[in-house]
Amino acid sequence: MASRSITQTADAPQAIGPYSQAVRAGQTLYLSGQIPLDPASGQLVDGDITAQAERVFANLAAVLGAAGATFADVVRVGIYLTDLGDFAAVNAVMARHFEAPFPARSTIEVSALPRGAAVEVDLVAVLDD
């Protein structure tokens, strides 16, 4: 079995359930889904879907950074939206955080997300060391 280690950072919201912010297994880093919680207050950020998506990607960047990774290490993105009408806005936010070659991605509409969030994103990254 590959070695496993947990990544935790105070710069992203703490888990609101029995899970870790990220788990590294061998060279693969699995980031749990992030919703638009402000890490300082633990509350959903105010604003539209763009503001929510920006907070989500900031949270993900913090977890990646704590593991010694960046968005350039990401190979897969999972996006969950409560309204697929928000697809273009979230896509524009994602485009600001990634460069070609882009990771694989799925985008799924769901009926609800924790805390009433409109967007949640999870990632898989591959690390060199």
pLDDT for the residue 2: 63
List the one residue out of 70, 87, 54 whose CA is nearest residue 126. Answer: 70
- What pLDDT does 6 receive? 96
Please report the pLDDT score of residue 1 as a whole number: 59
Task: Report the CATH number that the domain containing residue 82 is assigned in CATH.
Answer: 3.30.1330.40
Q: pLDDT tens string for the chain (129 positions)?
A: 568 999 999 999 998 889 999 999 999 999 999 999 999 999 999 999 999 999 999 999 999 999 999 999 999 999 999 999 999 999 999 999 999 999 999 999 999 999 999 999 999 999 987
Structural domain count of the chain: 1
Domain limits at 48?
Answer: 4-126
Predicted pLDDT of residue 75: 98
